[in-house]
Amino acid sequence: MTDTERTTREIVGRDEINDLEEILMLGPPPVDEIIREIQADGAIRFTWDYEQARPALQKLYSKAKRSQWDAATDIDWSQDVDPERIGRGLLETHPELLLYQQRSKDDRTLPLYGWSDAQFLQLAIEYQTQFLSQIVHGEQGALLCTAKICEQVPWIEAKYYASTQVMDEARHVEVFSRYLDTKLRGHHPISGHLLSLLEDVLGDSRWDITYLGMQIMIEGLALASFGFLHAITPDPLLKTVLRYVMGDEARHVAFGVLSLAEAYEGMSAAEIRERQEFAFEAGLRMRDRTFNQEFWVRLGVDPRAQLRWQLHNLDTALFGGMLFSKVVPNVKKLGLLDAGDGWLRQKYTEMGIIQFEHWVDTTEEYEALDTTGAPS
Ligand SMILES: [Fe+2]
Ligand SMILES: [Fe+2]
């Protein structure tokens, strides 16, 4: 390590990435908080160059304009949703929940040891609410990030595209909050880990860091989890909502990959290293978010004991790492995995997510996910 390289503590605030106490320290905001202010840095940019010289972004912009949908009228909100049916469905299909049930029968170290079927059903319903709650907050983060990108990115084609994404994200906040408030039991507060990441992404003065944090990391993870939930949810209304949103999200991730590929071309090795460090920090915060510490507290489970178990069973806690199946290929496509001495490859190996590097990247699949026409 050279004098200029940052330590793990300097990057993520702790020496050991699996330090249980440090992970637990980052809790949600105060329960009575309604507004959170973030001080953002960075220049707002006009460009006087209106010539469009980026055909891939122009194509994406055209597609975005054609693929707009209306959350109020394109979705049949009259459908009833049965939370218990959702819970039972997840208990039969969700690998993390399945393993909790199976192992808690004979693993006395698992805090859920001895739980009844009724308790597991409540857990599954709460699990769905917790997941969708974090999605709502993340979608609002995406709304703010793309407004910021629109202001700060220096290219006219990217400003055009970002403006369509602002509308997309408003619709996503609308659709998921409506689902939670009218079909489930309302939403839970944002995770401290997700909030911390969003504060970093929104507060950074470098426009490409907003892209990297939102379009590549957060939206990449969201796209994978939406695809996963779309495949297993027994609720037709949620399935329709997810299919619409996935078409938008795939474009958003492609927007990030296309823009950053150009931005990184002109960067020095030191600047690329900073982006690698950020991709590590963001990945770790997203992983820590998925441990769901507030959720376990709400269920009356000791979060310390639960987190200890999850850290020893990382393959289970992260749906077998599937959540990162779209993040790692896109980070690789951008050259961040192996730049310099392959530092990020090493970090992703420690986090247990490197196995997804050969999966398809989103610039190659976003058209297949488009929902123009009838989603199913
Ligand atoms: Fe979104
Ligand atoms: Fe998005």
CATH assignment at residue 285: 1.20.1260.10
Q: Rounded to an integer, what distance in angstroms lies between the CA atom of residue 177 and that of residue 139?
A: 10
Ligand nearest to the CA of 255: 2
Residue 215 domain-assigned? yes
pLDDT band at 35 (very low <50, low <70, confident <90, very high): very high
- Domain extent, residue 191, equals 81-364
pLDDT digits (tens, 9 = 90+) for 137-193: 999 999 999 999 999 999 999 999 999 999 999 999 999 999 999 999 899 999 999
Expressed in angstroms and rounded, the spacing between residue 4 Cα and the centre of ligand 1 is: 37
Residue 1 domain-assigned? no
Expressed in angstroms and rounded, the spacing between residue 114 Cα and the centre of ligand 2 is: 40
Ligand nearest to the CA of 176: 1
Residue 372 domain-assigned? no
Expressed in angstroms and rounded, the spacing between residue 351 Cα and the centre of ligand 1 is: 26
Torsion sign across C-alpha atoms 274, 280, 286, 291: negative
Expressed in angstroms and rounded, the spacing between residue 361 Cα and the centre of ligand 1 is: 18
How far is the CA of 73 from the CAs of 173, 177, 374, in angstroms? 15, 16, 14
Expressed in angstroms and rounded, the spacing between residue 161 Cα and the centre of ligand 2 is: 12
Burial label, 74 (beta-carbon count in 10 A; 0-12, 13-18, 19+): middle
pLDDT of residue 99: 83
Domain count, the chain: 1
Expressed in angstroms and rounded, the spacing between residue 21 Cα and the centre of ligand 2 is: 32
Residue 345 domain-assigned? yes
Expressed in angstroms and rounded, the spacing between residue 238 Cα and the centre of ligand 1 is: 15
Ligand nearest to the CA of 165: 2
Residues 6 or more apart whose CB falls under 8 angstroms from that of 93 comprise: 232
pLDDT digits (tens, 9 = 90+) for 329-347: 989 999 999 998 899 999 9
Q: Rounded to an integer, what distance in angstroms lies between the CA atom of residue 146 and that of residue 148?
A: 5
The chain-wide mean pLDDT, for the chain, equals 90
Expressed in angstroms and rounded, the spacing between residue 14 Cα and the centre of ligand 1 is: 30
Expressed in angstroms and rounded, the spacing between residue 62 Cα and the centre of ligand 1 is: 18
Ligand nearest to the CA of 137: 1
How far is the CA of 276 from the CAs of 196, 257, 348, in angstroms? 18, 15, 11
Expressed in angstroms and rounded, the spacing between residue 357 Cα and the centre of ligand 2 is: 22
Any idea which of 122-131, 231-240, 349-358 has the lowest mean pLDDT? 349-358
Expressed in angstroms and rounded, the spacing between residue 252 Cα and the centre of ligand 1 is: 8
In 3-state terms the chain splits into helix, strand, coil percentages (rounded to 5) of 65, 0, 35
Expressed in angstroms and rounded, the spacing between residue 313 Cα and the centre of ligand 2 is: 30
Q: Rounded to an integer, what distance in angstroms lies between the CA atom of residue 18 and that of residue 261?
A: 32
Residue 104 domain-assigned? yes
pLDDT of residue 361: 72
Q: Rounded to an integer, what distance in angstroms lies between the CA atom of residue 20 and that of residue 305?
A: 10
Q: Three-class SS of residue 44?
A: coil
C-alpha atoms less than 13 angstroms from C-alpha of 139 in its C-beta half-sphere: 24
pLDDT of residue 162: 98
pLDDT of residue 193: 95
Ligand nearest to the CA of 220: 2
Expressed in angstroms and rounded, the spacing between residue 303 Cα and the centre of ligand 2 is: 30
- Global pTM? 0.93
Residues 6 or more apart whose CB falls under 8 angstroms from that of 115 comprise: 104, 123
23-41 average pLDDT score: 93
pLDDT of residue 102: 87
Residue 42 domain-assigned? no
pLDDT digits (tens, 9 = 90+) for 186-201: 999 999 999 999 999 9
Expressed in angstroms and rounded, the spacing between residue 153 Cα and the centre of ligand 2 is: 17
43-58 average pLDDT score: 96
Residue 126 domain-assigned? yes
Residue 310 domain-assigned? yes
Residues in the chain: 376
9-15 average pLDDT score: 92
How far is the CA of 284 from the CAs of 188, 253, 352, in angstroms? 22, 19, 11
Ligand nearest to the CA of 252: 2
How far is the CA of 247 from the CAs of 113, 179, 269, in angstroms? 40, 18, 35
Expressed in angstroms and rounded, the spacing between residue 301 Cα and the centre of ligand 2 is: 33
- 16: how many CB neighbours lie within 10 A of its CB? 11
pLDDT of residue 95: 82
**Better-scored residue on pLDDT, 370 or 85:** 85
Expressed in angstroms and rounded, the spacing between residue 168 Cα and the centre of ligand 1 is: 7
pLDDT of residue 362: 66
Expressed in angstroms and rounded, the spacing between residue 252 Cα and the centre of ligand 2 is: 5
Expressed in angstroms and rounded, the spacing between residue 249 Cα and the centre of ligand 1 is: 6
256-279 average pLDDT score: 95
**Tokens standing for 315?**
């393959």
